């Protein structure tokens, strides 16, 4: 039974064990970027945008951390400033994130649109996937299972790399929630990872925001699965703490974020549980080659589609070729199923499609 204040002693052995078994999901919020004697991250962003003196910003709503822009063009101009802010943030050394990068979490969910942790992984040549929720877009059809060897960083509220994905205004938030409730949320494989986990760790999540409580439901945190939910925040209102415990069984630990991460890092290092630096980062295209070698042609096509979508403009140039190739493959598959083509002809045409896909993969690899 939880104590009256919902403050839970930390079972460090349990946390270390679930990380070792890849059953622990880490969720990061803006408080992880807090700096002693400096304003919180979101206030620093607002100051960086020179609000209220920025002519492109009509209003800022600190309770929701959302803006109202004077025009669509003004929103675009502000986006590039916001991107510059987060780019600077990613370039700065963050000891807390450095320590979290040492710990072999397989699945990390980020509630801010930054790329700071991914930047650390890249600097260490750590293979990883970096995906994000994109409102009004279909979920990715093919996503690899997150693992300690190739962890996944999933940006829950979009990415600074894609303006259309970010939640900057109340209209964006409405479209985001509409997208979620219409079923366009996590890919199925990630849903399974959430449900199969035994431990969730929340660091610096703004639980006081009303829409954050909805996002917790997106993550199935409200369901009574067999997992434990720990949370560490710099400061949180007792009413919010009580609500989170009643609705989501999130138990808050008495230690602050930095102290929690320091202790977890020390215990993981003592247990020999740390992420090894890799000598070379493998291109995602290499994994598609592997699918092709295993005769998983359809999954290779789906994986390449998702990879090209993540590349942005450089990937869009190859999308038309991929659509044409996919159409050829689907027509051939239907002819094979209907039995209106000989086995020899089917094999000949299949080999031609494989050659086309190999050529397309070579072009895609150049964009890596």
* Per-residue pLDDT tens listing for the chain (368 residues): 344 454 557 889 999 999 999 999 999 999 999 887 788 899 999 999 999 999 999 999 999 999 999 999 999 999 999 999 999 999 998 999 999 999 999 999 999 999 999 999 989 888 888 888 888 777 666 677 889 988 999 998 999 998 999 999 999 999 988 887 776 666 777 888 888 888 889 999 888 888 887 777 767 665 555 566 778 876 777 888 887 877 777 777 767 899 999 999 999 999 999 887 655 445 678 788 888 877 888 888 888 888 887 666 667 778 888 999 999 999 989 888 888 888 888 888 988 998 899 888 888 877 65
- Distance (Å, whole) CA 61 – CA 99: 33
Chain centre distance of CA 4: 34
pLDDT (0 to 100) of residue 117: 95
Q: What is the model's pLDDT at position 140?
A: 66
Q: Find all residues with CB under 8 Å of 254, minimum gap 6, and list them.
A: 7, 9
Q: Which of 298, 321, 293, 297 is nearest to 308 (CA)?
A: 321
Beta bridge partners of 284: none
Instruction: Give the residue among 78, 145, 88 at the shortest CA–CA distance from 119.
Output: 88
* Pairing, β 152-155 against β 129-132: parallel
Closest to 107 (Cα-Cα) out of 10, 212, 227, 233: 227
Spatial CB neighbours of 218, under 8 Å, sequence gap ≥ 6: 180, 185, 186
Number of C-beta neighbours around residue 342 at 10 A: 10
**169: which DSSP letter?**
B
Name the pTM for this structure. Answer: 0.74
pLDDT at 108: 96
pLDDT at 224: 57
Exposure class string for 142-178: b at 16+ Cβ within 10 A, else e:
bbeebbbebbbbbbbbbbbbbbebbbbbeebbeebbe
- Burial class from Cβ neighbours inside 10 Å (0-12, 13-18, 19+) for residue 351 reads exposed
Q: Identify whether the C-beta of residue 15 lies closer than 8 Å to the C-beta of residue 199.
A: yes
Q: How far is CA 255 from the centre of its chain?
A: 26
Give the DSSP H/E element, type plus range, for residue 2.
none
Q: Give the per-residue pLDDT at 187.
A: 75
pLDDT number for residue 365: 76
What pLDDT sits at residue 305? 85
Cβ-based burial of 55 (10 A; exposed 0-12, middle 13-18, buried ≥19): exposed
């Amino acid at each position: 039974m939880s104590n009256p204040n919902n403050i839970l002693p930390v079972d460090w052995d349990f946390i270390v064990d679930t990380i070792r078994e890849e059953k622990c999901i880490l969720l990061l919020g803006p408080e992880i970027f807090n700096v002693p004697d400096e304003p919180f991250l979101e206030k620093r962003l607002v100051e960086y945008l020179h609000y209220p003196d920025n002519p492109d910003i009509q209003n800022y709503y600190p309770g929701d951390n959302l803006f109202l822009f004077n025009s669509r063009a003004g929103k675009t101009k502000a986006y590039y400033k916001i991107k510059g802010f987060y780019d600077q943030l990613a370039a700065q050394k963050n000891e807390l994130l450095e320590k979290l990068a040492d710990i072999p979490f397989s699945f990390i969910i980020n509630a801010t649109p930054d790329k700071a942790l991914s930047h650390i992984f890249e600097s260490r040549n750590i293979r990883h996937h970096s995906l994000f929720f994109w409102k009004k877009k279909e979920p990715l059809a093919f996503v690899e299972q997150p693992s300690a060897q190739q962890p996944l960083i999933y940006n829950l509220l979009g990415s600074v790399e894609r303006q259309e994905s970010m939640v900057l205004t109340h209209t964006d938030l409405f479209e985001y929630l509409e997208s979620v409730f219409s079923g366009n949320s996590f890919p199925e494989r990630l849903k399974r990872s959430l449900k199969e986990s035994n431990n969730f760790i929340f660091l610096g999540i703004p639980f006081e925001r009303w829409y954050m409580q909805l996002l917790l439901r997106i993550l199935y945190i409200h369901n009574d699965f067999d997992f434990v939910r720990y949370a560490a925040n710099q400061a949180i209102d007792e009413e919010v703490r009580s609500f989170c415990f009643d609705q989501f069984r999130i138990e808050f630990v008495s230690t602050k974020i930095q102290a929690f991460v320091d202790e977890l890092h020390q215990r993981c290092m003592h247990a020999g549980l740390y992420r090894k630096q890799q000598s070379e980062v493998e291109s995602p295209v290499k994994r598609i080659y592997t699918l092709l070698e295993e005769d998983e042609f359809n999954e290779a096509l789906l994986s390449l589609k998702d990879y090209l979508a993540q590349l942005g403009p450089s990937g869009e140039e190859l999308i038309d070729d991929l659509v044409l190739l996919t159409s050829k493959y689907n027509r051939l598959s239907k002819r094979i199923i209907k039995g209106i083509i000989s086995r020899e002809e089917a094999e000949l045409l299949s080999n031609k499609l494989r050659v086309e896909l190999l050529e397309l993969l070579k072009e895609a690899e150049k964009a890596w």
